[in-house]
């Protein structure tokens, strides 16, 4: 069975600080996909990134960066120079190819608060 | 604004009422999903439709009845709900993986319907 663990329930940082959100996953599949979603107070889940299990390159998109390490089954997310608009709940998710229609397993989420 | 539109945004209903949640997408996606999300919890998958056919039912009680009239629309019919069914109901869509070059495509979510059962 697949599992996603986000050990950090809540994080608060002062604006402009860097912050890293941790994600550890478990799967028996060799081909799988990892995702990060952001959920602001409005409720919508906003897709941030998808990474497949064969691509371990780190990715940077503006102030966001992701560190994927298969050796430790981790897919961590770093926000550089945080802003108040980054305040939200962030979910890491895993999907395996054998489930067909992208059945996502979500972590429990990390609530990030950026203090002005 | 999201590309997945859900109506209504808020719904309050009694346990004997019948109501429906609606979801619409115009991205040409062939897979559509219903999720239930309780406060401070992650979304829980309820149903998946692929090419307008129900492909996954996560053992959801029969008081929730999904319907996919066409590839752009997804409904969730509600009847005789319980107070514990109060939650945020999220709709999502994605390209079915068989139609893409490869890989599981990301799901795109609507804003959700906040449902309260009295």
Chain A (48-77) residues lying within 8 Å, Cβ to Cβ, of chain B: 50, 52
Residue, of A28 and B97, whose pLDDT is higher: A28
Least confident of A8-17, A66-75, B60-69, B92-101: B92-101
What residues of chain A lie within 8 A of the CB of B2, using their CB? 44
For A115, the token pair is 């203090």
Is the CB of residue B11 less than 8 Å away from at least one CB of chain A? no
Average pLDDT along chain A: 92
Chain A (30-49) residues lying within 8 Å, Cβ to Cβ, of chain B: 33, 35, 37, 42-47
Interface test with B, best of A8, A34, A45 (most B CBs within 10 A): A45
Contact A102 B94 (CB under 8 A): yes
Share of chain A above pLDDT 90, in %: 72
Phi first, then psi, for residue A97 (nearest 5°) are -70, -25
pLDDT band at A31 (very low <50, low <70, confident <90, very high): confident
**B16-49: pLDDT as tens digits:** 889 999 999 988 888 899 999 999 999 999 999 9
Q: Are strands A32-39 and B18-25 parallel, antiparallel or unpaired?
A: unpaired
Predicted confidence at residue A96, as pLDDT, reads 75
What residues of chain B lie within 8 A of the CB of A108, using their CB? 41-42
Does residue A116 carry a pLDDT above 60?
Answer: yes
Start-to-end C-alpha separation, chain A: 41
**B43-87: pLDDT as tens digits:** 999 999 988 999 889 999 999 999 999 989 999 999 999 999 999
Distance from CA of A59 to the nearest CA of B (A): 17
A90, β-bridge pairs:
A38, A110
Does residue A40 carry a pLDDT above 90?
Answer: yes
Calculate the alpha carbon distances from A108 to A16, A47, A74, A93 in Å. 26, 16, 15, 9
Phi first, then psi, for residue A85 (nearest 5°) are -65, -10
Predicted confidence at residue A58, as pLDDT, reads 87
Give the closest residue to A19 by CA, choosing from A82, A71, A61: A82
Give the closest residue to B13 by CA, choosing from B118, B83, B84: B118
Does residue B101 carry a pLDDT above 90?
Answer: no
């Amino acid at each position: 069975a697949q599992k996603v663990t986000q050990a950090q329930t809540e994080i608060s940082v002062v604006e402009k600080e860097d912050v890293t959100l941790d994600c550890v996953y478990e799967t028996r599949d060799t081909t799988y996909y990892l995702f990060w979603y952001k959920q602001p107070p409005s409720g919508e889940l906003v897709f941030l990134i998808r990474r497949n299990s064969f691509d371990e390159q780190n990715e940077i998109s503006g102030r966001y960066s992701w560190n994927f390490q298969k050796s430790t089954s981790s897919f961590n997310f770093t926000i550089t120079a945080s802003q108040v608009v980054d305040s939200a709940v962030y979910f890491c998710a895993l999907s395996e190819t054998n489930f067909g229609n992208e059945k996502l397993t979500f972590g429990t989420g990390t609530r990030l608060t950026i203090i002005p | 604004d999201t590309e997945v539109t859900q109506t209504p945004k808020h719904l309050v209903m009694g346990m004997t009422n019948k109501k429906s949640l609606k979801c619409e997408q115009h991205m040409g996606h062939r897979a559509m999903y219903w999720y239930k999300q309780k406060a401070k919890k992650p979304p829980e998958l309820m149903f998946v439709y692929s090419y307008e056919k129900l492909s996954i039912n996560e053992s959801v009680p029969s008081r929730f009845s999904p319907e996919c009239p066409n590839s752009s629309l997804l409904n969730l019919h509600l009847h005789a709900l319980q107070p514990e069914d109060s939650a945020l109901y999220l709709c999502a869509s994605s390209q079915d993986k068989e139609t893409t070059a490869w890989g599981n495509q990301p799901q795109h979510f609507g804003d959700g319907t906040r449902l309260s059962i009295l």
